[in-house]
Chains A and B, each alone.
Chain A
Amino acid sequence: MKKSYFFTALKITLSLFLVCGVIAGAVALAYSVTINKYNENVANEKSNAIAEIFREPGAEAPELTLGDVDLPENSPKSVKEVSKVLVDEKTVIGYAINITGKGFGGEISLMIGYNADGSIRGVKIISHAETPGVGTKATTNEHLSQYNQKSGELTISKKKGDDIAAVSGATISSKAIHAAVNEANKLIIKVINEGGSAQ
């Protein structure tokens, strides 16, 4: 009696184990087949955003190369990546910071391009999960272009006189983007001061 119970339990465990093993194998296979393509997609998206930021109006997207920059010490966790933007593989024309902000619907991933002097060249949204038609108003180029050419600690509100006009109805989204940009503005000063270290 006891023995048969033991064998039933063993049989159940083994068959579940087998199912799990086979599925895990299949998932691992699918992962190894698709991972390169996925990384390519992510990298493409980021470099497209950078190219878009550094494009002269009306001109074709320029040939840019990106150089890695070490993150300054004590950088906040929201900073994902800092790169130098080079033309002809030697002249540094600016920097790009990939940073995330906490939006209404989750993480907002931003690409912020800087001129060599540390002023903002342009801000692009890479991904977000804001409410369509509401929070997405803060992700339009019209709103984001307010940041262009600005630097340092910026203020935001719906009143006049502040650096950035918040979007009514999308307060949380625009503030999330704003906080991320300010964070990156602090960071870029450090990056430029440390300048040579990464070259």
Chain B
Amino acid sequence: MKKKSGFLTQLKEGILDNNPVLVQLLGMCPILALTTMVSNAIGMGLAATAVLICSNVLISLLRKFIPKQVRIAAFIVIISGFVTVIEFIMRAYVYSLYQSLGLFIPLIVVNCIILARAEAYASKNKVLPSAVDGLAMGLGFTFALFIMATIREIIGMGSFLGIPLFGDFYSPATIIISPPGAFLTLGLIIAVVQKIRNNAEDKAQIAKMKAQAMGEAKEEKDA
């Protein structure tokens, strides 16, 4: 992997091509529960990103030290340690955010994105790529949270980041910010993402087939 292009591919991979939420379908619990307000979604996304980067770096550093038989246990201890530290920092310095996220901060521990990246990437790669992977996947998670929260807050509460967008005549469709609305919104977003990905794949395939056909035609001519 080349240095600079590697960084960008990893970033693109995390945010778009292999987005942990929209493509890998991981971390469903926070994405359903915490996307009623954009501010909560961003806070959650950044907290998870911080944990992801820290745990990826430490796990990558310790990848030769941790015996493979107890690696999952060690990963969970490391992840929960970082989550607890982040929780302490949040309740000391961003108290209102800490209150609105509530129970979901300790639940970052069982966010499968973090364990998945530890197991699939950080435990097999060097420190720097692991840190970048944590950043990319964390931003991908934040991105998905942001998109979903934007849609739900605008439709369900008629506001964005707490600022009312429409006048009093707009009565918000509260179903969108209730749990069923979370499933509806998520389903539709994933459908759109799949459509885009399929189209891109089809295009690539068609281009490949065209190139092949051209090549064959050329060969025939040459013959």
Chain A interface (Cβ within 8 Å of chain B)? 11-12, 15-16, 19-20, 23-24, 26-27, 30-31, 33-35, 37-38, 41, 45, 106, 127, 129, 131-134
In whole angstroms, what is the CA distance A19 to B89 when docked? 22
In whole angstroms, what is the CA distance A129 to B67 when docked? 42
Q: Which residue of the partner chain A has the closest CB to B85?
A: A30
Q: Is the CB of B92 within 8 A of A34?
A: yes
In whole angstroms, what is the CA distance A29 to B81 when docked? 11
Per-residue contact bits, chain B 77-99, to A (CB 8 Å; 1 contact, 0 not): 11011001100110111010001
Kindly list chain B residues whose C-beta atoms are within 8 Å of the C-beta of A134. Answer: 174, 177-178
Other-chain contact of B70, A12, A33, A37 (Cβ < 8 Å) = A12
Q: Is the CB of A19 within 8 A of B77?
A: yes
Other-chain contact of B74, A16, A26, A38 (Cβ < 8 Å) = A16
Q: Is the CB of B157 within 8 A of A38?
A: no
Q: Is the CB of A34 within 8 A of B89?
A: yes
Q: Is the CB of B177 within 8 A of A15?
A: no
Kindly list chain A residues whose C-beta atoms are within 8 Å of the C-beta of B91. Answer: 34, 38, 41
Question: What total of A-B pairs shows CB separation below 8 Å?
Answer: 75
B65 at the interface (CB under 8 A from A): yes
In whole angstroms, what is the CA distance A140 to B6 when docked? 51
Q: Is the CB of B89 within 8 A of A11?
A: no
Q: Is the CB of B95 within 8 A of A26?
A: no
Kindly list chain A residues whose C-beta atoms are within 8 Å of the C-beta of B36. Answer: 132-133
Q: Is the CB of B70 within 8 A of A16?
A: yes
Q: Is the CB of B70 within 8 A of A131?
A: no
In whole angstroms, what is the CA distance A106 to B99 when docked? 13
Q: Is the CB of A11 within 8 A of B177?
A: no
Q: Which residue of the partner chain A has the closest CB to B157?
A: A133
Q: Is the CB of B81 within 8 A of A26?
A: yes
Kindly list chain B residues whose C-beta atoms are within 8 Å of the C-beta of A33. Answer: 88
Q: Is the CB of A19 within 8 A of B62?
A: yes
Q: Which residue of the partner chain A has the closest CB to B78?
A: A23
Q: Which residue of the partner chain A has the closest CB to B158?
A: A133
Q: Is the CB of A132 within 8 A of B88?
A: no
In whole angstroms, what is the CA distance A34 to B103 when docked? 19
Q: Is the CB of A15 within 8 A of B70?
A: yes
Extra 6 A-B pairs, beta carbons < 8 Å, given A37-B93, A129-B103: A12-B70, A15-B65, A16-B66, A34-B88, A37-B92, A38-B88
Task: Say what secondary structure dominates the interface of chain B.
Answer: helix
Q: Is the CB of A27 within 8 A of B84?
A: yes
In whole angstroms, what is the CA distance A20 to B84 when docked? 14
Kindly list chain A residues whose C-beta atoms are within 8 Å of the C-beta of B172. Answer: 133
Q: Is the CB of A133 within 8 A of B174?
A: yes
Kindly list chain B residues whose C-beta atoms are within 8 Å of the C-beta of A19. Answer: 62, 66, 74, 77-78
Q: Is the CB of A132 within 8 A of B177?
A: yes
B41-84 residues with Cβ-Cβ distance < 8 A to A are 62, 65-67, 69-70, 73-74, 77-78, 80-81, 84
In whole angstroms, what is the CA distance A16 to B70 when docked? 7
Report the minimal beta-carbon distance from B58 to chain A, rounded to whole angstroms. Answer: 9
Q: Is the CB of B77 within 8 A of A30?
A: no
Report the minimal beta-carbon distance from B151 to chain A, rounded to whole angstroms. Answer: 15
In whole angstroms, what is the CA distance A34 to B172 when docked? 40
Kindly list chain B residues whose C-beta atoms are within 8 Å of the C-beta of A12. Answer: 67, 69-70
Q: Which residue of the partner chain B has the closest CB to A16?
A: B70
In whole angstroms, what is the CA distance A143 to B13 when docked? 49
B187 at the interface (CB under 8 A from A): no
Q: Which residue of the partner chain B has the closest CB to A109?
A: B99
